[in-house]
Amino acid sequence: MLSFLVTGANGFIGRHLVSTLERRGFDVKQAVRCHPGAPEPSGGIYAVGDIGPATDWDSALDRVDVVVHLAARVHLLKDGASDPENEYRITNVRGTERLARRAAASGVRRLVYLSSIGVNGSHSGTGVFTERDRPSPHDAYTLSKWEAEKVLHAVSDETGLEIVILRPPLVYGPGNPGNFLRLLELVASGWPLPLRDFNNRRSLLFVGNLVDAIIHCASHPSATGQTYLVRDGDDISTSELIRRLAELMGRPARLFSFPSSLLRGTAKMIGKSTDIDRLMNSLAVDDSKIRAALGWQPPFSLTDGLRETVSWFVAGRSASRSDDS
């Protein structure tokens, strides 16, 4: 039975991964950052501090077969760093290289790295992204992810450490933060939305499916040295996604038509161009490679994933209202 170290174990994806690994009987160590003044972790949880070129990984890596590297500096709505690009590089590139080199020195066999579909580009146009596409990172975050991928392959060539890379699209599920949570809140608000005629294509990834794919990549011999795109299986337009979420909430989907050019222009004036682009553009992926090479099939359908996510969201709103009353 493989032993794992999961970095970013207390994050959204990390919590789901650790829970599933433990439920399946794997030995799991958890690496977390820990804030100053927090109690010292114990019981297989290791506080490694900030991730960078000097992080001490040695205790956490002792007797580990597979590292799953989830921890990263991610997109921030308001990034206060004076040089954000350098900060991304310190954590996501140099920190990842440090982890890989220490893992190889500690006898770790394989490292599974969670990258981003943004390495392929910001949108897929009328086609789909594949692993064969020329990388086209579009901001400091996705550039750092692409640079980290290249560094990992270099470390692998030098040390023999097996590397597997996953580039997921938008990941959602119970406990999801960020854009998907904001979309849930928007649908629940009942506000009319000018999104009825969006015929784009979006690939989504339920966290349960991502976790299952990670475990496949950690154990399958054919995964060594490979990069995989992964998705739920059914692509969906933004307008249809809103309709499904509203239906699962038992609410009407209040969608109306609005010229896309005016919508983009309005978003630009109020500094929301990026948000509107995410809603309007297509981002579809072809995951046939991982299915064919590893025999992987998502254990949850898109409908399953949306239902579980909405159930979590509705339960949280109900609990919050009860606490306020």
Active site residues: 141
Cβ(47)–Cβ(23) below 8 Å: no
C-alpha–C-alpha distance, residues 23 and 11, integer Å:
18
What count of other Cβ atoms lies within 10 Å of the Cβ of residue 107?
Answer: 12
Q: What Rg, from alpha-carbon coordinates, does the chain have?
A: 20
C-alpha–C-alpha distance, residues 30 and 44, integer Å:
6
Distance from chain centroid for Cα 320: 27
Cβ(184)–Cβ(310) below 8 Å: yes
Cβ(303)–Cβ(247) below 8 Å: no
Residue owning tokens 């337009």:
237
> Is the sign of the CA dihedral 159, 119, 13, 80 positive or negative?
positive
Distance from chain centroid for Cα 178: 11
Of 129, 8, 151, give the one whose Cα is nearest residue 68: 8
Of 289, 282, 301, 296, give the one whose Cα is nearest residue 239: 282
